[in-house]
Structure 1
Amino acid sequence: MKALIETIVTPLVDHPEDIVVTEAEEDSKVVYHLTVNQNDVGKVIGKNGRIAKAIRTVVYAAKTESNNRIYLDIM
C-alpha cells in the first residue's frame, strides 16, 4: 500500500525525495501518514481537496486482504 501511495503522489510534487509514508496499525484500522515537502502540500491536496479525495478513493478501493479499515492522513 505504501508503494501505491508513493506512485500516485510522486508525479504531483516538485520534491519527490521528500515523500514519506508511514504506517500505524491500531485496533481495527490501518492509518497511513503521508508527509511531503511543505511547498508541495497544496499540490497534493488540490483545490477544495479534490486531489486528496481522489487519492483516498483509490487507496480505499485497493484494500488488502485484511478486513481492517484504511485511513490516509496527508501532512
Structure 2
Amino acid sequence: MLTPALEHLVKGIVDHPEEVQVLSKSSQRGEVLEVHVHPEDLGRVIGRSGRTAQSLRSVITALADGRRVRVDVVDTDK
C-alpha cells in the first residue's frame, strides 16, 4: 500500500514521471522504500534543504500506521 502511494506522490512532482520507480526492501530496522528518479528530477524530489523529501517521509510515516518505514531517495547518476 505504501509503495503505490509514494510512487503517486513522486510522479506528481517530477518532469519525467515515466522514470519513477519505488522499490520496497526489508531490513532489520523495518521496510525501506527506495525512490529512483531521472537524474534531472533528483533536485525536485529532494527540494530545498531536503524539505520535499522530508514531507514525503512524513506522509509515508503517517500512512504506515505505526510500522517502521524509511524512505530513501537514491542518486542513480553514480
Counting matched residue pairs gives: 73
Q: SS at the partner of 1:12?
A: coil
> Equivalent residue for 1:70?
69
**TM-score of the superposition, structure 2-length normalised?**
0.87
Give distance in 1, aligned partners of 2:57 and 2:22.
14
> Equivalent residue for 1:39?
40
Identity %: 32
Asked if residue 50 in structure 1 is aligned to residue 48 in structure 2, the reply is: no
**TM-score of the superposition, structure 1-length normalised?**
0.90
Question: Where in structure 1 do 4 or more consecutive aligned residues deviate above 6 Å?
Answer: none
What runs of 5+ residues in structure 1 fail to find an aligned partner? none
- The CA RMSD over aligned residues, in Å, is 1.2
Give distance in 1, aligned partners of 2:36 and 2:29.
23
What runs of 5+ residues in structure 2 fail to find an aligned partner? none
